[in-house]
Structure 1
Amino acid sequence: MTALNRFPSLMARAGTASALTLAAVGGTIVAPGIASEAEASTVTASTKALKIAASKKGSPYRWGATGPRRFDCSGLTLYSFKQAGKKLPRTAAQQYNKTRHVSAKQRQPGDLVFFHSGRSVYHVGIYAGKGRIWHAPKSGDVVRLQKIWTKNVWYGRVR
């Protein structure tokens, strides 16, 4: 598929001379800020999931709950991404195994943050930016925004 076929609206805005130059050069358009279709839909779903999690602020924690009024940690992430059109497995460990792992430097708002001890994942939240997550912490607590309190975390991007 040529660059012209993949970005028809871009070509319409760029004009005939630019389109002909791209056609002569061939290959792929490389421009900052233009993501592939798959990346763009993931970013949109992640952004939606983050907003949905934030909208659940104050909802009580309940072990095994997946919403819409009560949540455990992985229940909140499952619910938020489901509402955003993405399917996740039930537990934090299963969710970690289904995400594309990214480094702390690559993390973006909407990525999942997995808390671990050794190789075992025991908690998950949704990265909100600035070192904070939305999560359902523990029994007796509520869904809230909190600073990441440990360096023992891994990051995963929902595909």
Structure 2
Amino acid sequence: MSRWFCALLLACASAAQAAPDAENSEIMDRWLAEQGLLLTRIEDMGYEVVDKVTDRAQTVADQAADLVNSTMGFLGVPYKFGGSSAATGFDCSGFVRAVYEQTVGLLLPRRAEQQAAATRSIDRKELRPGDLVFFNTMRRNFSHVGIYVGDDKFIHAPHSGSRVRLDDLGRAYWTRRFNGARRVTPLEDAGGTQSAPQ
């Protein structure tokens, strides 16, 4: 399964800034279906806001397929400190915030440590696609964040000079710096998570 996953990533990364062609789209659909994540297909990866969540009792984790599709669509977007859009580039928390706002209509706080405080702590063994993973990369807790996509992988905007990419939680660098996992819960439980403005 790891080889198939790597092949998928190479195909996605090569087409990250272009509109997905039919072959790459088919490969991604197959992988997402195998992972049990393909619920609906986002045809236009033009970074437009999709339908908002209307049922407040529904958890954001139920939108895992849309989140994974959305994160894959941002692969290759350049890192930019303070960036919060595909047009200008992303930093780590700007990337997470944009994905959640555009995919499920939730506006998370802007900074990684604020996102950690506004979400529910879970054990690493409980990670599901769409959950947040946090790291201590600047000698302080929750200084970096990414979105878990399954198979022990996460997508993030790593640092200056890089691009949004997929990494493995099992890599020694990330294992040593792992700060915890969090789940975005329904609005009434998220400790500050708000609806995106209409």
> Do they superpose with TM above 0.5?
yes
Q: Report the alpha carbon displacement of residue 38 of structure 1 after superposing the two structures with TM.
A: 5.5
Does 2:179 align with 1:153?
A: yes
Matched with 1:60 is: 78
Matched with 2:50 is: none
Whether the 8 Å CA contact 1:45–1:86 is kept in 2: the answer is: no
Query: Structure 2 residue aligned with 1:144, among 142, 145, 165?
Result: 165
The structure-2 alpha-carbon separation of the partners of 1:40 and 1:100, relative to structure 1 and needing over 3 Å to count, comes to same
Aligned length: 123
Between the aligned partners of 2:135 and 2:151, the Cα distance in structure 1 is 17
Matched with 1:134 is: 155
Does 2:147 align with 1:122?
A: no
Whether the 8 Å CA contact 2:59–2:184 is kept in 1: the answer is: no
Matched with 2:132 is: 112
Whether the 8 Å CA contact 1:49–1:83 is kept in 2: the answer is: no
Give the structure-2-normalised TM-score.
0.57
Q: Report the alpha carbon displacement of residue 39 of structure 1 after superposing the two structures with TM.
A: 6.2
Matched with 1:77 is: 96
Q: Report the alpha carbon displacement of residue 131 of structure 1 after superposing the two structures with TM.
A: 1.3
Matched with 2:114 is: 94
Q: Which runs of 5+ in 2 are unaligned?
A: 1-54, 186-198
Whether the 8 Å CA contact 1:46–1:158 is kept in 2: the answer is: no
Name which of structure 1's ranges 43-52 and 92-101 shifts more when overlaid on structure 2. Answer: 43-52
The structure-2 alpha-carbon separation of the partners of 1:54 and 1:39, relative to structure 1 and needing over 3 Å to count, comes to farther
Between the aligned partners of 2:102 and 2:64, the Cα distance in structure 1 is 11
Q: Report the alpha carbon displacement of residue 87 of structure 1 after superposing the two structures with TM.
A: 1.5
Q: Which runs of 5+ in 1 are unaligned?
A: 1-36
- 2:77 aligned partner, one-letter code: S
Whether the 8 Å CA contact 1:53–1:134 is kept in 2: the answer is: yes
Instruction: Percent identity, please.
Output: 37
Give the structure-1-normalised TM-score.
0.70
The SS at the match of 1:52 is helix
Q: Report the alpha carbon displacement of residue 45 of structure 1 after superposing the two structures with TM.
A: 3.5
Query: Structure 1 residue aligned with 2:65, among 29, 47, 58?
Result: 47
Higher-Rg member (1/2): 1
